[in-house]
């Protein structure tokens, strides 16, 4: 979201998640050029970082359970 190039660490990932929550408000021109991008980013971070919700995409034949 914020286009940082720093290595990932907990506080940075959380900041990206919070920025994703306000993507359309913070970056209206980017949001207009890429409809659905904010929703996809939020879904990915919610699933991968927060462990909430379904996976953002379906991958046939793959299971987290192994």
- pTM for the full model? 0.69
The CA dihedral of 15, 22, 46, 41, to the nearest 10 degrees, is -100
CB 43 within 8 A of CB 56: yes
pLDDT of the residue at 66: 53
**Alpha helices (runs of H) in 1-66, residue ranges in sequence order:** 10-21, 23-26, 28-33, 37-48
The domain limits of the chain are: 1-56
For 52, which DSSP code? -
pLDDT digits (tens, 9 = 90+) for 2-53: 777 878 788 888 888 899 899 999 999 999 999 999 999 999 988 888 888 8
- Of the pLDDT bands very low, low, confident and very high (cuts 50, 70, 90), residue 56 is confident
pLDDT of the residue at 64: 63
């Amino acid at each position: 979201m914020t286009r940082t190039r720093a290595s990932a660490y907990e506080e940075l990932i959380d900041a990206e998640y919070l920025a994703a929550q306000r993507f359309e408000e913070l970056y209206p021109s980017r949001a207009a050029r890429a409809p659905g991008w904010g929703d996809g980013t939020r879904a990915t971070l919610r699933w991968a970082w927060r462990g909430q919700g379904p996976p953002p995409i379906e991958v046939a034949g793959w299971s987290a359970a192994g």
